[in-house]
Chains A and B, each alone.
Chain A
Amino acid sequence: GAGVSQSPRYKVAKRGQDVALRCDPISGHVSLFWYQQALGQGPEFLTYFQNEAQLDKSGLPSDRFFAERPEGSVSTLKIQRTQQEDSAVYLCASSLADAGGLLSEQFFGPGTRLTVL
C-alpha cells in the first residue's frame, strides 16, 4: 500500500514568506510526528499528534511554526515569515501507536526540502 507522502518535495521561499508543508500519513495511523533535519544532522523532533490532538509541540523552534491535523489524517506544518535558519528537510512520520502509548514502528515520508533565500 501507499506509504507516507509529503508535498511539495522541494520548496524555495524568499525570506519573510509563509510556507505550508503537507503530510499524508498511512491510512489508519493514529500517531503523526514532524521532524526537522538540518544539513549533516540527524532529524530533530518538532511536534506530535495523536489523531487530531496535538499532544506535544515542545520541539517547535519558535512561534512562527504552527502545525495542525484537523481531521486526524492529513497534517500541515506552516512556517510564517521564514528565515534562512529555517532551511532544512522537514520529515513527517506516522505510526500505529495507540492511546496507551505503546511504541510501534514509525514510517517516514521522503521529506520536504525547504530552502529560504
Chain B
Amino acid sequence: GNSVTQMEGPVTLSEEAFLTINCTYTATGYPSLFWYVQYPGEGLQLLLKATKADDKGSNKGFEATYRKETTSFHLEKGSVQVSDSAVYFCALSRRGSQGNLIFGKGTKLSVKP
C-alpha cells in the first residue's frame, strides 16, 4: 500500500542551525510529494511540493528533492528561525487519483533563540 514514514520528533534546534527532517515513502506508480506545515493554533499549510523525480520544491528557505531511487523527500533548511517552530508533515498523492493526501505522523520542530 501507499505510506509515508518521517522521522519522529520532537526536534529541538538553536536559531541558525541546519535542519533536516527525513521522509521516505512507499507508493505504487509515481506519486506527487508534499511538505505541509502546521504553526501553533493554525491550520495545515502547503510548504512545498514536487511532482516528478529529481524535482526540487522550495519555499521560505526550505527545500526538498524528490529522490525516486531512494524513495525519499527530505526537508532541509540552512538556517532555522524561531518562527519556524511548527509541526511538519510529509505527504504523498497518487498520480491519477482524486488527490487525497497520505500523511506521515508529523515532526514537531522547536527552535530556541
Residue numbers of A with Cβ under 8 A of B are: 3-4, 31, 33, 35, 40-45, 48, 50, 55-56, 59, 91, 93, 95, 97, 101, 103-106, 108-111
Contact = CB atoms under 8 A, between A and B. Distances in A.
A111 B43 CA distance: 7
Given A42-B103, A42-B104, A101 B43 contact: no
Nearest to A103: B99
Contacts of A59: 100
Contacts of A93: 44
Interface of B: 4, 32, 36, 42-46, 49, 51, 89, 91, 93, 96-106
Nearest to A49: B98
Given A44-B103, A45-B102, A103 B51 contact: yes
